[in-house]
Every structure is written in C-alpha cells, then in structure tokens.
Amino acid sequence: MSESTESAPLFGSPELRLPDDLRGPLKAHMENLRNRYVEMGWAGRGGFGSKPALIVIDLALWWTKPDKPPMGSHIDPIVESTCVLLKAARAAGIPIFFTTYDYDPADPPTPHHGKCEPNIGPEDAGLMELDPRLERRDSERIIRKKYASAFNSTNLYHNLTTLDIDTLIVTGVSTSHCVYATSRDAAHTFRVVVPHQAVGERCELMHEVNLLDIDIDLGDVMGLDDVVGHLQAL
C-alpha cells in the first residue's frame, strides 16, 4: 500500500500515533517482512476448526474510558467491531467469554507496578465492569484475571476443553499485552483467529508489530467480515 493511502487509526491515543510520514514506509516494511517469513515457511494458515468460541479481552470501563489514563484510550471502533462479532456469535450459538481485571485493593504491589502506575483506587472498582455496549448475557462467562493472559491462573482452559472448543476467536485490548498473551497461550491447544478490526490499543506501533507477530507465529489475523461470514455459515 502506498504511503499516500495510509491514514492514522481511528482508535488509541493521538499522542502515541506514528508520524504521518513514517506510517506508509513502516507498513510497507512490515508487509515485506511478512512475505520473507512466508518464504521461510512461517505464517501458515490454521483456519477454523469445527467448534469455535469467542473471547472478548478487557473491554471493561477502565480501558474504554479515554479520561482514565494510563489504561483508558479511545477504542470505540474496537468496541463497535466486537459488538458486530458478538451479534454473529450469539446468532450462531457459540460460547462467549469476557475478561476483566480481578481488582482487589488489598492485593500487595507487584514488581510490575514499577513499570506503570495503575492510577486506580478502591473507589474505582466499578471500572472493572464490562462496557455496557457489549450487552453481556447471563449465560456468557466472565473470566476475572490477575495477569495478561486469560489462561494464567484462571479456569478458562478447563471451560474451553470441557466444551470441546478447538478454535478461539480473540478480540479486545490491548494488542501488545493481554490479546497477545492470551493468543500465545491459546496457540498451544487451540486454533487462534484474530479479527484485526476488533483488537487495538493506545499505541499504533505496538499494535501493528504485535498483530504481525500473531499472524506469523500464533494464529490467523483476518478481516472482520471474513470471521462474521464464517459464523453466519455455521
């Protein structure tokens, strides 16, 4: 794609976007990298299995409210694309999971707190509730997690294997952290599908690089319409 046709993403933090004059060359370089990996035998397509499930990563208010830094940023397009997938998943009758942070003000600080000040207190516990635009049903499970991966110290793996799930459709935020970590852990057991319009984060460069890594090594990064079309055909 030529530099002139590249535009800034509609999500994330404006101050963390790429300079306009770097976006086109970077995208071209990343496409060239992907092609080289393909030539070396990477980036094969796993496709869908016979029993998919959808997981929505961390689309809780702490992440979807732009006025709550450092976690919050403008991710309305991610929420909207995820809602499209949720509609298709519900119509298809496939299992749906949501995650959010298992916040407990009594938890002691971890070494990771030195990397990022959470900027959250006991009065903010409500921010861990899912964004109401997702319209979660009572039958749709919530995985409350302490770590980046939705598999780490949770019962997600047990839930998926009990249901004989073989494909995990991963959406939400952030691409470089919880989406990536969940995809990496999932890839050991499940086919991974990531609709690129339904994942994102505050930083454009981190999003693009980690999405490329997922597509090369962990799963299939696909267009939203392709994933919805597959669900509609079930």
Using pLDDT thresholds of 50, 70 and 90, give the confidence band for residue 5.
low
Catalytic residue among 83, 116, 178, 203: 178
Cα 48 to Cα 220: distance, rounded to the nearest angstrom: 9
- Cis amide prior to 4 (ω within 30 degrees): no
Distance of CA 75 to the CA centre of its chain: 11
- The predicted-structure confidence for 68-78, as pLDDT tens digits, reads as follows 767 878 999 99
Rounded to two decimals, the pTM is: 0.94
Helix (H) or strand (E) holding 99: strand 96-101
Answer yes or no: is pLDDT of 133 > 50. Answer: yes
Mean pLDDT across 165-192: 98
User: Superfamily for 11-42+50-104+121-232?
Assistant: Isochorismatase-like (3.40.50.850)
Residue whose entry in the numeric block shows the structure tokens 């959250």? 120
The whole-number pLDDT of residue 4 equals 39
83 included as an active-site residue: no
- The predicted-structure confidence for 67-124, as pLDDT tens digits, reads as follows 776 787 899 999 999 999 999 999 999 999 999 999 887 888 878 777 876 677 777 7
Residue whose entry in the numeric block shows the structure tokens 């999500």? 11
Answer yes or no: is pLDDT of 1 > 70. Answer: no
